[in-house]
Amino acid sequence: MTTVFLDRDGVINEKIENGYVTSWEEFAWMPGAIGGIKKLHERGWNIIVVTNQACVGKQLAEMHDIDEIHRHMQLELQAQGISLTQIYVCPHTPEANCACRKPRPGMLLQAAQDHNLQLQHCYFVGDSWTDMQAAQAVHCYGIFVQNSEAGNCDGENDHQVRARHVCATVDEAIDHIILQEGPV
């Protein structure tokens, strides 16, 4: 079964000025995100969210605040007939030097263990070089959504991280995955 990893902030929902969505009231869907996710769900594919939420480690939010955002997010998706396979959250700051915070692939490795995945056959849609670095570390097919100030992720950056494909929107990224996988 095909598995698609999605970053949250900047892919599923819009980023906000202070950098952290800490309540449902601050959450706004990215244009095309629900429609794109629905296309994945209709094919019966695994849809796994992997998100860094340093706001918890910085004590700007509690883990229950993040869980509440995800509960509302899933309720809105369920109202459209969509379900997510799982959501993985890294609550740590970069200084914590944990294994789960992207660019490290800890959340991807945990998902592979939990869902018996072969990561080299999975896709990762993200909007930052850290997303692409995590994808590259485990040989996922990285798709960079260039809709933020994250910059270019085509190998011409300081980190020498290469996305397999670059898109303007999450919906376009999902259409690319569907094209790669072919008809159901």
* DSSP tag of 9: B
Q: Is 131 a catalytic residue?
A: no
Q: 63-79 and 33-42 helices cross at what angle (nearest 10)? A: 70
Q: Which residue has the tokens 């309540």?
A: 23
Task: Phi first, then psi: give them for residue 13, nearest 5 degrees.
Answer: -125, 160
Catalytic residue among 7, 65, 127, 131: 7
Beta bridge partners of 167: 145
Give the C-alpha separation, 73 to 128, whole Å: 22
Q: Is 9 a catalytic residue?
A: yes
Give the C-alpha separation, 26 to 172, whole Å: 25
Following CA atoms 84, 152, 107, 96 in sequence, which dihedral angle do they give, to the nearest 10 degrees?
A: -130
Catalytic residue among 9, 65, 127, 131: 9
Beta bridge partners of 29: 13
H, E, C per residue of 27-73: CCECCCHHHHHHHHHHCCCEEEEEEECHHHHCCCCCHHHHHHHHHHH
Catalytic residues: 7, 9
